[in-house]
Structure 1
């Protein structure tokens, strides 16, 4: 397919997403099924264009003064990819399979309109109802922070120290351009271009042998900041598919007891195979069984309880750009209630002198510092550990990281703008002995 034909296809897919109100991945899959002649490179390029338009959903419509699928794709070509009017016009040449030529209004918009006077939510590409929350979180920096959350994320990998060393893993993935992550001592990063498809890491020998796992650097750091140690009893209370469970197990070096559970047993489905591939032998999966407390034997005994809390996921918008436009205020209220419940449960599991790690992939203060403030009011036996003590896990990188990250009395916040990671909040608390 020509670049012009790919653009035309992307306009069709974006139109289907809006008309049918379906997730982007579903629309892309349906298009691929109906157009089997398109190769993997074509599908990747079309997906890249669609996700660019979703990332710049509000700003591109504002730029073009038109909220149609075509207008948002054209606006995204300028805002996200930096194409000028003539470059965009060359794609819209009206030839076979290409979009129709630019209208005078489209040319004028691309040539003269800017985001200089756009409201914060438009320039930052986030739902209007979230502006007060972003203002509370970031103040005058909210447009820059939100714009960074709208860029494409790299592919980050965590080296599993139970199976490999970072130097070995990097050498094994050198053909993919893997380089060390800037903060995590366990991370590798593969930077992806606008049209690049995700490399087939899952087919690489180093992955198949358990040497690496796909995990954003921010998630890697969140696990490191829990300070899990060999010989401890650790509970991963919201284990899900097991990303942080695997990281905790490696930190424990196979020594001690690691209990992993989740209130939704369906989320735990992939964890068994992942633990086996990673060579983890000290983890025990506790699937929920109705009203039964599957962690009753761990009550008040855990050295560390990790709460990777259910949240709005605002910190992961780089990877799920269409999710932010589907998010409604009611979702935040539901998540806040879920977080209170899981924190209350976690507190009962921590032994005197033990630690509780609260983690979200959200940047909203209500889910982060607000939850910790409320928790401390309910549980006066806990105190927040000083950030300097938490960040010390990074060794020689700690000082620079402390300058980059957003600190508060309740914890630390990583963001794409400041740390180059997904948005993650981490608070490490200690229970009085």
Structure 2
């Protein structure tokens, strides 16, 4: 077998590989010899079919496998000896297309090699970590939001008309074709107008009613209504309004705390402070990570495989186009051209991606099965009722697994670098942290 270099420009490599006819014939004989003990043929006992007859019967069928295995073996041996790592799948072409049995096999292999990644002294990296404490104002604001969500209702003044958002307490009897139907009646039923809990059109007709008033509400059940005997039919509800109540925020006290699972108000405040500081820490980490990536980008500069940059620029352009055209869901759209700005961003991403991958590999950073499972579960929550199907889909889809694993790996490498860098803490206000986060979003 011969491997001759034909191209060596920057990261581009080209080789001519020749598998001799003798080598190929030996490979065929080897594969036939492996199969011989199991072969049965009329006139011969199992395992006793002569090699010449096997070759005549199965030689052509085995030839293709032998050819592919020989080429794959030559490629593997080349990469092992050279130390090259292809950036993308090598392009392999057979050059003697008029090949016939007894000829040598000649192929060309071209690829772009991954560059040598320089060693970094990560102790020279200086980072700033923004620290925000949950102050009383932030805790009180969160408490007020909780109280609003846990709203109560109090009676409006006598004669007040019900508004959207008010609670109407009423008795009602529903009828279809003049006959009351099962499940269509209730007493002292509290309905919040605008909540959408009743049939479309029902709540809107109660806006303006007063306590003590009787109101006939006419609606049509949806065609896809779950009770088939009511689907698509018109119904009349005779409503007797007993009370009209306006929403009021719940009082901030121990009773409110117990509604949210806390022992008392002090315990609820402590939980809120802990949650807020966890949110601040997450935002702070995102800001620090961007700072780290900026520092790494300044520290390294090495040649990049053009194919990786081109593919990344195309993906960026495609993603941004869809963000600007959200109505287009599929890929049936004009060809999207990449700009210098896309290429510039792609160059940074590819360089940092290769650098982080190299650092992670040398540090033996790995994403555990438990971490992957947690990531899949978090993603599955976006598909209520279909979590199991999503989980199974990811298990059977290598590309999807890689999409979920990549950010986990990157974050672990970032943490590894940050542990060796010089990190100084700076206490800031919530507003300052918010501005830093907004600056990140604007820069993307």
Q: TM-score, normalised by structure 1?
A: 0.22
Q: TM-score, normalised by structure 2?
A: 0.22
Greater RCO (Cα-Cα under 8 Å, separation 6 or more) = 2
